[in-house]
Structure 1
């Protein structure tokens, strides 16, 4: 059986993708704040944000990153600070998390770049590619790099599909949220608390 169609790989990858995290949260926020189109753009951005981690794992840069405590901590700190900034932005109702009935639509490029940054500054993804995916590549594989790229492609496709579903579902609730100012306030507080929680969780990640 091919590693790509291995039930263990597919189920575990789906659990990893569907678990609440920064990417899922950003996509949900995009759907609530700007609608279905923005949610899909955010899902695309989160998926593209995986590419650097994948390339680092394939070229061996990820292994060097985890061998260097300084480099790992630098990326981790940058990710934590960015999550705290997003928590502040959520409370201030500005930027990517601004939810207003009359707010102008954000440019697709802005949404995608923001989502890419979220996953780019997440060292847990490089850990995933270094520690998890290689388990599904046979030790005697003729083309291990090709298999790694194929597994990564499946993981990225899952990421886009799951995040897009999350975001479009959130977009379907957008008008109900906008009609309830109190719900909107609690939603912003909830996003802020979630980003702070994710920042704390990321700060505790070890190499």
Structure 2
């Protein structure tokens, strides 16, 4: 599968880019300890699986019935990544990591991570736009292929967020400076924009 290395690279760049899930797990790890951070990461990853299942079931039917939708989604996905990259660069000075939620038990941390991810409409649109970029439109089992890609994304997310939770204190102290946070978001924004441009171009082979 020629698109798999690109998918893994794209997923990694998107996962490590600071966002709501990133800050949620970071905050839990810093304030409530490693256990809370790990359970929050597990909740977020479970939410990703929910979005993956919904996207795979719905898009499989649409792509089989109307192949042109694939190309529409491909264009939308590339443009979406371009916009997200621009927003990261534009808002690079607004990357505070000091705001966290109050302490709660481990089960509540998992549930809050799950709900915050599942109830975020931006995440739903992201998976609808992102997964089809790496699935061939003319092969059977498109839904299964998207589910597999989503599972890979969820596992990568869990590993990264778990590591983030384990080292939350040190990472938070390093990132919680305005200049470093701004630089991190600028670099991430440029990389995401380049990825969006790459997805808008045809993949040979």
* TM-score bracket, shorter-length normalisation: 0.5 to 0.7
SS of the equivalent of 1:42 reads helix
Secondary structure of the equivalent of 2:140? coil
CA distance in 1, matches of 2:50, 2:171: 33
Q: Distance in 1 between matches of 2:166 and 2:55?
A: 31
Distance in 1 separating the partners of 2:8 and 2:56: 20
Asked if the contact 2:49/2:151 (under 8 Å) is kept, the reply is no
Distance 1:133 1:41 in 2: 26
Structure-1 separation of matches of 2:171 and 2:12: 24
Q: 2:11 aligns with which of 6, 10, 13?
A: 13
2:30–2:168 Cα contact (<8 Å) kept? yes
What pairs with 1:184-199 in structure 2 (closer than 5 Å)? none
Q: How far 1:171 sits from its partner (Å)?
A: 4.2
The equivalent of 1:33 in structure 2 is 31
- Do the aligned partners of 2:21 and 2:117 also contact (CA within 8 Å) in 1? yes
2:119 corresponds to: 121
How many residue pairs get aligned? The number is 142
Deviation at 1:173, TM superposition (A): 7.2
Q: Which residue matches 2:51? A: 53
Aligned pairs for 1:90-101 (under 5 A) are: 97-98=101-102
- So what's the TM-score if we normalise by structure 1? 0.60
Deviations 1:96-140 (A, max 9, x none): 623xxxxxx732211101111111121121112111111111112
Matched residues in 1 for 2:171 and 2:14: separation? 25
Q: Select which of 139, 162, 168 maps to 1:170.
A: 168
Please point out which of 123, 129, 144 is paired with 1:131. Answer: 129
The CA RMSD measured in Å over matched residues stands at: 3.1
Cα shift at 1:161: 0.8
TM-score using structure 2 length: 0.60
Q: Cα distance, 1:18 vs. partner? A: 0.9
Q: Is the 8 A contact 1:32 1:170 kept in 2?
A: yes
Question: Are 2:57 and 2:143, in contact at CA under 8 Å, matched by a contact in 1?
Answer: no
**CA deviation string 1:132-151 (max 9, x = no partner):** 11111111222111111110
